[in-house]
Amino acid sequence: MIHLDQIRLLEGKTIKAIELINTLREENKALKKTIDTSQARMEELENLVQEFKSDQDEIEQSILRAMKNLEQLEDDITKPESKKKTTSIVDEDASPEIESESGSLIFETEPDEEKKQELDIF
């Protein structure tokens, strides 16, 4: 036969179990919310990393283009000077013309004073 004490003990254990289940459900909801927040933040950070990589690639390409332009500028500056020097040394009485890389004739002219100063910088 079942005694009243056994029923009360069973009821107490049932109430504790229900409280524990409710506590675990609340904790589970909080953990799911934390996971959702963390995943959203992770996606945001992944987007930032992707943007950073894209920006880095663009910066790298810009630097490479700038270096190429500087090399070309340096080549353009140094090539005419060396041709001018060799032309004037070889024959000062000759016609002031030189042959360009494409084969056409270029007539040498004296650069104005401002251009001379610019070239002196380099």
Q: Is residue 100 a part of any domain in this protein?
A: no
Q: What is the DSSP string of 36-81?
A: HHHHHHHHHHHHHHHHHHHHHHHHHHHHHHHHHHHHHHHHHHHHHH
**Residue 76 maps to a domain:** yes
Name the domain count of the chain: 1
pLDDT tens by residue, the chain, 122 residues: 788 999 999 999 999 999 999 999 999 999 999 999 999 999 999 999 999 999 999 999 999 999 999 999 998 888 855 555 555 454 545 444 444 555 554 544 555 555 555 555 54
pLDDT at 97: 47
Q: Is residue 20 part of a domain?
A: yes
Average pLDDT score over the chain: 79
- Domain of residue 73, residue span: 4-95
pTM: 0.44
